[in-house]
Amino acid sequence: MRTTVGIVGAGPAGLMLALLLQREGIDTVVLEARSRAHVEQRVRAGLMEQWARDLMIEIGAGARLVREGLVHNGIRLSFDGRLHAIDFRRLVGRIVTIYDQKEVVKDLIGLLLARGGRILFEAEAIGLGGLAGPAPVIRFRDGDAVRELVCDVVAGCDGFHGISRASIPDGVLTVYERGYPFGWLGILSESPPPADELIYAAHDRGFALFSMRSPTLSRLYLQCAPDEDVSRWPDARIFDELAARLGGSCPLARGRVLQKGVTSMRSVVVEPMQHGRLFLAGDAAHIQPPTGAKGMNLAFADVVVLARALAAWTRTGRTDALDAYSRVCLDRVWKAQRFSWFMTQLLHRFPDETAFDRRRRQADLVDLVGSAAAATALAENYSGLPLAAAALEAAAPFSVSG
């Protein structure tokens, strides 16, 4: 097989990249190890920044998002027994939207296939070769056979445990990593959410997050030990603890628990995000704690930069935008890491926390709800920093809203 850009992974990053390149007339093939049914049911968080929502609409994949997505003007902070609103629309003129990532994937797959794009499901990439040359090769399983996809460029969009990053020789990448001494115990509950916007609760007992998937379906999280045994948490105990960490700031409805699991918390960034003709995007290059809601948004930002650079290269033969890919992306990635760390340390109770630390965190929370400048900084970062247009002058003229 032959294509211009071989894309490993049919998650949000790989699918969005394929659609952006298709719009520029650049041929792609997407290889996905799992079945279409599995990919379209894979549960992930689904908060979209303003510009990411605009991008979905712009490429023609936003009809269900506009119809079914839950628009939020901001978030609520819960502490000292009260709810405090941070109004993004008023502060920075932007919104965020709750829309399940699996629904995003469904929309992108449907659009790409309807437009004649090529996605090979149950095609597991097992090796990358020739990355330093002009014609990299992706070896993949196709049933009982092993086939090869020859391409000009490989986009590694296959997540943290995928083969793309693992194919880069030792010593090329610098890996920055930080683990956190807690996880999130999360449930999906058939119950109305306690508010019409996300609630981030800071409490002496630990952090809690009150999110939603619909007006009747809640996604709820509790700070817990990173190795927490879920069997120790029957439904009643979870709801009791959630109510306790709300601290009486608002009532909490209880419902039937549909899912239950523990999410680990860590930050990882690899530099550079490229090696030869291989370009990493999304979780293949960086992961961050979910407190800042940056995962899918950063993946989209990466592939917008990559698509622009590839469009410029195929039009003119110039490589300056491709050469700058990692630098441009990492500027945004590190800002997102800083914000995710800020939100995580602000809201969680650390095992070695002192009385001084607790009072300092309390002062940070009071400052956020009492200072327009502090609230604006949070709103800017949470709702999505604009894409760095100046750094992309040499690339294709996409009209993504900032």
My answer on whether 283 and 341 are in the same domain is yes
Q: Judge whether 288 lies within some domain.
A: yes
Residue 353 counted as domain residue: no
Query: Does the pLDDT at position 391 exceed 60?
Result: no
Q: What is the mean pLDDT of residues 113-128?
A: 97
pLDDT of residue 299: 97
Across 38-42, 247-251, 376-380, the highest mean pLDDT is recorded for: 376-380
Residue 128, pLDDT > 60, answer yes
pLDDT digits (tens, 9 = 90+) for 345-373: 999 999 999 999 999 999 999 999 999 99
Instruction: Please report how the helices 101-114 and 12-23 are oriented relative to each other, as an axis angle in degrees rounded to 10.
Output: 30
Last-in-domain residue among 235, 263, 291 = 263
What tens digit of pLDDT does each residue of 51-106 get?
Answer: 999 999 999 999 999 999 999 999 999 999 999 999 999 999 999 999 999 999 99
Average pLDDT value for residue range 48-53: 96
Q: Residue 62: phi, psi to the nearest 5?
A: -105, 5
Instruction: Tell me the C-alpha distance between 338 and 62, whole Å.
Output: 30
- Between 299 and 213, where is the model more confident? 299
Asked whether residue 176 carries a pLDDT value surpassing 60, the answer given is: yes
- The answer to whether residue 89 sits within a structural domain is no
- For residues 169 and 296, state if they share a domain: yes
Same domain, 187 and 277: no
Do 171 and 204 belong to one domain? no
CATH number at residue 160: 3.50.50.60
Domain that holds residue 320: 5-46+100-179+266-348
Q: Could you tell me if 188 and 253 lie in one domain?
A: yes
* pLDDT at residue 256 in the model: 96
Residue type, 261: G
Tell me if 286 is assigned to some domain.
yes
Structural domain contains residue 159: yes
On the question of pLDDT at 185 being above 70, the answer is: yes
- pLDDT classification of 388: cutoffs 50, 70, 90: low
Asked if residue 304 and residue 249 are part of one domain, the reply reads: no
Q: Please tell me whether residues 197 and 138 are part of one structural domain.
A: no
Q: What is the mean pLDDT of residues 177-200?
A: 96
Q: Is the pLDDT of residue 204 over 80?
A: yes
- Separation in Å, CA 207 to CA 79, 234, 237, 349: 10, 19, 16, 7
Question: For residue 150, which phi and psi values (nearest 5 degrees)?
Answer: -95, 135
**Same domain as 284, residue 200:** no
Query: Is 123 part of a structural domain of the chain?
Result: yes
How many domains are there within the chain? 2
User: Which residues form the catalytic set?
Assistant: 72, 200, 290, 294, 382
Report the candidate in 162, 165, 176 with the shortest Cα–Cα distance to residue 131. 165
Clarify whether residues 287 and 342 are in a common domain.
Answer: yes
Determine the Cα–Cα distance for residues 72 and 85; give it in Å rounded to an integer.
Answer: 11
Q: Kindly state the average pLDDT of the residues 329-347.
A: 97
Is residue 69 domain-resident? Answer: no
Residues 135 and 246 in one domain: no
188 and 168 in a single domain? The answer is: no
In terms of domains, do 273 and 162 share one? yes
| Degrees, nearest 5: CA angle 229-235-236 | 120
Please report, for the domain that includes residue 217, its CATH number: 3.30.9.10
